[in-house]
A and B are shown apart, each in its own frame.
Chain A
Amino acid sequence: MSVAAVDGRALGTSLRVVATDAALLDAARAAVDRVVGEIDATCSRFREDSEISALHRSAGREVRVSPLLMQALRAALRGARLSGGAVDPTVGSAVRRIGYEGDFATVARDGAPLRLTVTPVPGWRQIRLDAGARSAFIPEGVELDLGSSAKALAADLAAAAAHAAMGAGGVLVSLGGDIAVAGSAPEGGWVIQAAEDSNAAVDDSAESIAIRSGGVATSSTTVRAWRRGGVALHHIVDPATGLPVQGPWRTVTVVAADCLDANIAATGAIVRGEAALAWLGELGLPSRLVTHAGEVVRVAGWPAPAGVALG
């Protein structure tokens, strides 16, 4: 049975849903749309009517939050902890200061010079959650950006919801290149092409892998990028400086048990720099890292194309 796919847009990026049974694709897409819509309404810092915007307006006091926002906040804090603070949700103000002030489609690709200050972000430990009361507290002045984790979480939840709606077979959900699969894989597995840009055209000669479960995510400094005063900026902020990461990797792709963990590891690797190689290896996360010069390093079981030795 051949797979069927449908493409669209969501969360300010591309959306792709692939089902192993064409007859179930509509059900899968409807479930994905529902979940992604809920994530957008809950976690988008660019929507004044989102729940996280309301949380920002309530900074300085404890407020009750929805189950989904609690889940997203917990996911973000877990990512911060497991990345050693490299992936920190309190980068919101820093991201805004470097020029990323709205949906990326509205961010001018070039502009006047910015005056920036090296300022560590407030830090994820400033956030307090009470799961029993389902409440959250963020200090005044702290702005959250769940972008690093919420899109991946959305892919995981959407794939699971789509599979439940289908009742059989398997499904792949890609949100801007953050990919989650659920259910049974097609024969030979889900084939994923690794690229700098998730909007890259399918290229049979490009490097690809096959997965049967879990998730794949890529973090890159090259795509969501802009210039101010002739200086190249990008959206991956180092919590230690509040500025775009200046490390050895321009793109990192990771395979993990789910898309969320893959995303945390990919972004964490960009921030960690050289130390990422050992970190990913110790975690056993198959990864593909690309230097700014274009050199590709594969670690922890990322399959090397024929004739290429593992890095």
Chain B
Amino acid sequence: MSPLLRHDTGRRDAALERRRSTVVMAAAGGLGAVGVLTGMLAASASSTSGNASDSSGSNVGAVDGSGGPSISNDGSQPSGVNQDPSSGGSLNPPFNAPSLPRGRGGGVNAVTGGSGR
């Protein structure tokens, strides 16, 4: 894998400061074989990386909550949808842990996977 395209977020800021690179993808090449033609990154790394601790969300107000489809549950499970950027310290794990299905045969309710068509 090209060092340009590594995804170790811990190294991202430093890497970003070094690169603003024109990349040419040759017909027989790949993203792993890109050519670096010019350097120096103009954009601010802080606009594209970071973590929850440095995102104050100071421009984001409280949830309005009016109108639109609403979330309604009968209490059998928590209403998990949480779109308030200014609250919630992490992504929420499931209320019930997933388990292996009991038995085999014809019981699949849905298939999860990538969506392309």
Listed in ascending order, the chain A residues whose CB lies under 8 Å from chain B are: 3, 5, 13-14, 16, 18, 34-35, 38, 66-68, 70-72, 74-75, 77-78, 80-82, 84-86, 88, 104-105, 113-123, 125-126, 128-132, 134, 151, 153, 156-158, 160-161, 163-164, 170, 172, 174-179, 181-184, 186, 188-200, 202, 204-205, 208-225, 228-233, 238-241, 243-247, 251, 253, 255-258, 260-261, 264-265, 271-275, 283-286, 300-303, 305-306
Contact = CB atoms under 8 A, between A and B. Distances in A.
* Residue among B4, B31, B57, B80 having the largest count of chain A Cβ atoms under 10 Å: B80
A122 B43 CA distance: 8
A191 B61 contact: no
Contact of B112 (A188, A192, A212, A247): A192
Interface of B: 1-2, 4-10, 12, 15-16, 19-32, 41, 43-52, 55, 57, 59-74, 76-85, 88, 90-117
Nearest to B73: A182
B115 A177 contact: yes
A238 B12 CA distance: 11
Contacts of A300: 93
For the residues of B in contact with A, the DSSP-based class is loop
23 contacts: A13-B117, A115-B22, A119-B20, A126-B47, A157-B68, A157-B71, A161-B72, A183-B73, A188-B101, A189-B99, A193-B108, A193-B111, A210-B98, A211-B98, A212-B77, A214-B77, A216-B112, A232-B31, A255-B98, A257-B95, A258-B82, A260-B80, A283-B93
A5 B109 contact: yes
A118 B19 contact: yes
B69 A68 contact: yes
Contact of B70 (A128, A160, A302): A160
A258 B96 CA distance: 11
B72 A163 contact: yes
Nearest to A152: B81
B68 A67 contact: yes
